[in-house]
Structure 1
Amino acid sequence: MSSSDEGPEITTGPTSLGRPLALDGVKMRFQILFFIFFISSSGFIVFRNVYLEEIGLSGSQMGLIGLLLLATGVVVQPVWGLLTDYFRAERTVLVIAGIGSAIAILSYPFGSDLSDSFLLIALGTAAYSAFRTPIGPIASGMVLSRELDYGSVRAFGSLAFAIGSLGFGFLVGTLGSVSIVYFYIAGAAILVGIAWSLPSNRSVDEHDDAARDNEVASNEPGLLEATRMLVTSPTFVVIVAASFLLRLSAMGGEAFFSVYMIAFALAFPPMSITWTLLASLASAEASVMVQLPGDVSTRIVLSPDVV
């Protein structure tokens, strides 16, 4: 019998025990994407104010920088979600977000050479937050829309943040706090490459549903009308306000924790160990996010990953 007469080859997949750890194909790329994104971001989150204090910013200026990070993220998250859903451009948005955030964060080392560095760093912070904000939520939406095991993918992000929180304590102590900027840029470059390699379709059945998608698209409102419907929805306003207040209540402690530890003459490595213990709680996010209904816009609005 020729090979053309043979039936389709049947491959044995991983068992139910090994499936969450199966590193193959698209799922593996998402796992690497989450790992790179969170490990490269961890240094900036943990040691941002340490760097700002070293270049001479005051406590009130550092607080304003933190507020810009939060407020910009809350405002632009729904916009990114709307654009992503409307144009079905998850991969493109990830690439733009990675490049934009990497360029914006360069305002930190450039601003440190100025006599009055606050304005440039504040503008760069707003731009950084605007571009970085959609990366985690959109990647989460892509994982869920492909019906992958979200918990086993998102766990790589939690693990990466814990490792990064520990590792950056040693790196900052050796290379200086400005290293958090260049490690993020390197991570963003890798993230862009991974995002570009992802398949653009949301599911394997998308080609079979092309006619249905075109019919649905013809009945969808225009972009301006969709935006108006979104921002005038009372539910949307309540959710955005709640997201802002929840992050605001926790962000002050997070932002100044490292500065507070330095005030007590705690070295960078022990400080990082403390952050690593705190970061281990981040895995709880996966159990909440995986239960959320709705499309990418819904998950982006509700996602706590603003900083």
Structure 2
Amino acid sequence: MTEIFSGNKQSSAGGKPVSLSALYLFIYYGFGAFTPLIMQYYQSINLTGTQVGLISATTPVVSIVTQPLWGIICDRFRIRKSVLVLTLLTSGLIGLLFPVVSTFALVLILYTVLSVFQSAVVPVSDSIALGYVKKHNLQFGDIRMWGAIGFALAAFLTGVMVEKWGPSVIFYSYFAAMVVAILFLRQVPEEVESAPKFTTSMLSGIKDLLKLPRFVLFLTASFFVFGSVNANNIWFSLYYQEIGGTIAGVGLAFLLFAGSEAPFMKLAGYITRRWGLELTILIAASVSAIRWFWYSSAPSTTAVIALFFVQGISVGFYLATAAQFVRENTPASLQVTALALFFSVGHGLGTMLCNLTAGWIKDNFSTLTIYSFFGTVTVIGLIPLLLIRFGPWKAAAEDKVDATR
């Protein structure tokens, strides 16, 4: 069983790879039940595109503040596991409240509170997993790919259930997944690696991080590239139905899309070892840009489904390598803070821009135009990635990071 989950027979001691892989499986099962199908809930309570955009921008706005705060708490007090338990349970409980509210104002308030706790889940779980894979010489993608599998299964199964029983299923599935994730988290050691001594404040830590050119360029790229990827998770449901698909078809699409991420996350380890992190990330972002422009041309649902593996190349490669890039290009004493800042910019500011703009475009133009916008901002994000790959900062950045370790 350990070998199945971890993908590395030699790393099976103590069952930790199984627990970490299962943790990702159920965390992202919850996300897969929630994010791709939340548009069905919004439509059931008659929200406009602009209102959906505002609500969808709530998590990014909150994350800008809360993710660095969660990161600094974890770095200072070394309580990553406790923080993750708290945020998983609380966000699951808050999710159960959505079926009883039906106005824009109440949904906005509830989503804001949810975002405070949900914003810690990804950076903290990534920090725990990255510490483990570094210590045991594993590939992060081998564990992270189980998140893609969980997301894929949830999107499909929840899509079928939503079509049969309505959008309330979304929130019950989300809560159940968070609870099961906690059960597996309990099997993960309190500290999977020795934490560095915390010696700086949050503001000075962020200031130090922003002095690293490669890290700043990557933040800029993630603002555009990751922002459009996250926004697609919200708007694809509406898009797919407008080009002739069904709700169950949305679930099938996400099953194939997210399912394709897992093998490409596995492949990302090989590509990275052969050609490096920078080129792997650049390939992922380039394919994303092509994908969004193709979507804007209104292809058939059959074509969208048939080319499902495009998501594996773009999103799978990016997810498997982005956190690793952050870790390798920032000081060891600021690992969680660096990851939190990365997610605040990519999942935060970038997603906020894309969702707000997409909502306005939906009300004033069309869903197809939303994807033209996604393609444009992703092309902009390619510029800093090209500078990372071919720019003059690589040696200097590595020397500075190494000196702080």
Distance in 2, matches of 1:60 and 1:81, equals 31
What per-residue deviation string (whole Å, max 9, x for no partner) do you get for residues 78-134 of structure 1? 22111111110101110111122123223421212xxxx111211111221221122
TM-score (norm 2): 0.61
CA shift at 1:21, angstroms? 8.7
CA shift at 1:185, angstroms? 0.6
1:197 match: secondary structure: coil
Aligned partner of 1:183 among 173, 185, 193: 173
1:227 corresponding residue in structure 2 = 202
Distance in 2, matches of 1:227 and 1:153, equals 29
1:199 corresponding residue in structure 2 = 189
CA shift at 1:29, angstroms? 0.7
1:135 and 2:118 are equivalent in the alignment: no
CA shift at 1:28, angstroms? 0.8
2:46 match: secondary structure: coil
Task: Confirm or deny: 8 A CA contact 2:33 2:158 kept in the other structure.
Answer: yes
CA shift at 1:233, angstroms? 5.3
Distance in 1, matches of 2:21 and 2:54, equals 34
1:299 and 2:278 are equivalent in the alignment: no
2:148 corresponding residue in structure 1 = 158
Aligned partner of 2:131 among 140, 145, 161: 145
CA shift at 1:40, angstroms? 1.7
Distance in 1, matches of 2:245 and 2:147, equals 27
Matched letter for residue 117 of structure 2: F
1:79 match: secondary structure: helix
Task: Confirm or deny: 8 A CA contact 1:85 1:296 kept in the other structure.
Answer: yes
Distance in 1, matches of 2:163 and 2:180, equals 25
Task: Confirm or deny: 8 A CA contact 1:133 1:305 kept in the other structure.
Answer: no
Calculate percent identity across the aligned residue pairs.
Answer: 21
2:69 match: secondary structure: helix
Aligned partner of 2:30 among 28, 40, 43: 40
Distance in 2, matches of 1:241 and 1:100, equals 31
Distance in 2, matches of 1:188 and 1:59, equals 29
2:237 corresponding residue in structure 1 = 258
Task: Confirm or deny: 8 A CA contact 1:70 1:248 kept in the other structure.
Answer: no
Identify unmatched segments of 5+ residues in structure 2. 261-311, 352-405
Relative to structure 2, which stretch is displaced further, 119-128 or 145-154?
A: 145-154
Aligned partner of 1:268 among 228, 247, 270: 247
2:109 corresponding residue in structure 1 = 123
CA shift at 1:252, angstroms? 4.1
1:172 and 2:162 are equivalent in the alignment: yes
1:266 match: secondary structure: coil
1:59 and 2:28 are equivalent in the alignment: no
1:201 match: secondary structure: coil
Structure scoring higher RCO (CA < 8 A, sep ≥ 6) equals 1
Task: Confirm or deny: 8 A CA contact 2:209 2:338 kept in the other structure.
Answer: no
What per-residue deviation string (whole Å, max 9, x for no partner) do you get for residues 21-70 of structure 1? 95951111111100001112102110111111111211111111111122
1:286 and 2:320 are equivalent in the alignment: yes
What per-residue deviation string (whole Å, max 9, x for no partner) do you get for residues 174-220 of structure 1? 221111111111111122232233211233xx5xx9xxx7xx45xx2
2:369 corresponding residue in structure 1 = none
Task: Confirm or deny: 8 A CA contact 1:21 1:152 kept in the other structure.
Answer: no
Identify unmatched segments of 5+ residues in structure 1. 1-12
What per-residue deviation string (whole Å, max 9, x for no partner) do you get for residues 129-182 of structure 1? 221122122112112212243222111111111222222221211221111111
When Rg is computed on C-alpha atoms for both structures, the one with the higher figure is 1
1:71 and 2:46 are equivalent in the alignment: no
Distance in 2, matches of 1:17 and 1:93, equals 28
Which structure carries more helix by proportion? 2
Matched letter for residue 227 of structure 1: M
